[in-house]
Structure 1
Amino acid sequence: MMERLSALYDKTCTCRHCHHSFTTKRVRGGSQAIIQRDADFCTYYKEQSLNPILYTVNVCPACGFAFTDQFTQQLLPPVKRLVQEQISSKWTPKEFGYVRSISEAVVCYKLAIYAAELTGEAHSVKAGLSLRLAWLFRFQNDKQQEKRFLHMAVHEYEQSYVFSDYDKGDKEMSEVRILYLIGELMRRVERYDEAVNYFSKALELGRQSIETGILSMARDQWSLAREEYKQKNQEKIG
Structure 2
Amino acid sequence: MAINPDHFYDKNYTCLHCDTAFTSKRIRSGSQASVKRDADFCTYFKNQRMNPILYTVAVCPACGFAFTDQFDKTMTPLVKKLIAEKLASKWTPKDYGSHRSMEEAIVTYKLAIYSASIKGEAHSILAGLYLRVAWLYRFLEKETEEKRFLSLAVTEYEQSYIHTDYVKDDKEMSEVRVLYLIGELMRRIGKYDQAIRYFTKAVAFKERTIETGIINMARDQWSLTREEYKSTHPA
TM-score of Structure 1 vs Structure 2, range by shorter chain: over 0.9
**Cα distance in 2 between the residues matched to 1:176 and 1:206:** 9
Deviations 1:129-149 (A, max 9, x none): 000000000000000000000
| Contact residue 150 and residue 189 of structure 1 kept, 8 A | yes
Which residue is 2:7 aligned to? 7
Which residue is 1:212 aligned to? 212
**Cα distance in 1 between the residues matched to 2:139 and 2:153:** 17
Change (3 A) 1:146 1:2: closer
Change (3 A) 1:70 1:217: same
| Contact residue 112 and residue 129 of structure 1 kept, 8 A | yes
Q: Is the counterpart of residue 186 in structure 1 residue 186 in structure 2?
A: yes
Deviation at 1:121?
0.3
Which residue is 1:44 aligned to? 44
| Contact residue 70 and residue 168 of structure 1 kept, 8 A | no
Deviation at 1:232?
1.7
1:36 counterpart SS class: strand
**Cα distance in 2 between the residues matched to 1:20 and 1:92:** 15
Residues 202-211 or 175-184, more deviating: 202-211
Amino acid at match of 1:164: T
Which residue is 2:114 aligned to? 114
**Cα distance in 2 between the residues matched to 1:105 and 1:231:** 36
Which residue is 1:132 aligned to? 132
Change (3 A) 1:53 1:118: same
* Structure-1-length-normalised TM-score: 0.96
Deviations 1:158-178 (A, max 9, x none): 000000011344211000000
| Contact residue 124 and residue 168 of structure 1 kept, 8 A | no
Aligned length: 235
Amino acid at match of 1:92: T
Deviations 1:152-210 (A, max 9, x none): 00000000000001134421100000000000000000000100000000000232111
Deviation at 1:70?
0.9
**Cα distance in 2 between the residues matched to 1:133 and 1:39:** 16
Residues 167-176 or 200-209, more deviating: 167-176
Amino acid at match of 1:6: D
Which residue is 2:103 aligned to? 103
Amino acid at match of 1:64: G
| Contact residue 176 and residue 206 of structure 1 kept, 8 A | no
Amino acid at match of 2:184: E
Question: 5 Å matches for 1:51-66?
Answer: 51-66=51-66
Q: Is the counterpart of residue 174 in structure 1 residue 177 in structure 2?
A: no
1:6 counterpart SS class: helix
Note the aligned Cα RMSD (angstroms).
1.1
Amino acid at match of 1:233: H
**Cα distance in 1 between the residues matched to 2:165 and 2:230:** 34
**Cα distance in 2 between the residues matched to 1:206 and 1:117:** 35
2:204 counterpart SS class: helix
Identity %: 62
Which residue is 1:228 aligned to? 228
| Contact residue 124 and residue 160 of structure 2 kept, 8 A | yes
| Contact residue 131 and residue 149 of structure 1 kept, 8 A | yes
Change (3 A) 1:2 1:223: closer
| Contact residue 35 and residue 44 of structure 2 kept, 8 A | yes
2:207 counterpart SS class: helix
Deviation at 1:118?
0.6
1:98 counterpart SS class: coil
| Contact residue 20 and residue 60 of structure 2 kept, 8 A | yes
Deviation at 1:228?
1.0
| Contact residue 122 and residue 168 of structure 1 kept, 8 A | no
1:74 counterpart SS class: coil
Instruction: Structure 2: state its 5+ residue gaps.
Output: none
Amino acid at match of 2:40: D
